[in-house]
Structure 1
Amino acid sequence: MNPHVHSTLVVQLQADGASRCPVLAHLSYDAADPFAVTAVFSHDGRVLTRWRLDREMLGEGLRRSVGVGDVRFSPVTNGMWAELRMEFLGDTHEDGSRHHAVVYAWAPAVSAFLRSTRAVVPPGEEEIGVDDFLAEILARG
Structure 2
Amino acid sequence: MNSFVHKTLVVQLLAHGTGRCPVLAHLSYDADDPFAVTAVFAHDGRVLACWRLDRQMLRDGLAGPVGVGDVRMRPETAGPWHELRLEFLGDPRPDGGRHHAVVLAWAPAVAAFLRETDQVVPPGRERLPMDELLAEILSTAE
Match of 2:112 in 1: 112
Q: Give the Å deviation of 1:105.
A: 0.2
Deviations 1:10-45 (A, max 9, x none): 000014564110000000000000000000000000
Deviations 1:94-137 (A, max 9, x none): 11110000000000000000000001000111000112333454
Q: Does residue 1:33 correspond to 2:27, yes or no?
A: no
Counting only pairs closer than 5 Å after superposition, residues 55-70 of structure 1 correspond to structure 2 as: 55-70=55-70
Gap change, CA 1:47 and 1:140, over 3 Å in 2: farther
Determine if contact 2:15/2:21 at 8 Å carries over to the other structure.
no
Partner amino acid, structure 2, of 1:129: P
Q: Give the Å deviation of 1:79.
A: 1.1
Q: Residues of 2 paired with 1:133 and 1:40: CA distance?
A: 26
Structure 1 unmatched runs, 5+: none
Partner amino acid, structure 1, of 2:133: F
Q: Does residue 1:7 correspond to 2:4, yes or no?
A: no
Structure 2 unmatched runs, 5+: none
Partner amino acid, structure 1, of 2:34: P
Q: Give the Å deviation of 1:68.
A: 0.6
Q: Give the Å deviation of 1:55.
A: 0.1
Match of 2:22 in 1: 22
Partner amino acid, structure 2, of 1:114: L
Match of 1:82 in 2: 82
Q: Residues of 2 paired with 1:133 and 1:68: CA distance?
A: 29
Determine if contact 1:16/1:100 at 8 Å carries over to the other structure.
no
Determine if contact 1:90/1:100 at 8 Å carries over to the other structure.
yes
Structure 1: which 4+ aligned runs deviate by more than 3 Å?
15-18, 135-141
Bigger Rg, which one: 2
Partner amino acid, structure 2, of 1:54: D
Q: Residues of 1 paired with 2:35 and 2:16: CA distance?
A: 30
* Identical amino acids, percent of aligned pairs: 70
Gap change, CA 1:15 and 1:92, over 3 Å in 2: farther
Q: TM-score, normalised by structure 2?
A: 0.93
Partner amino acid, structure 2, of 1:43: H
Matched positions, count: 141
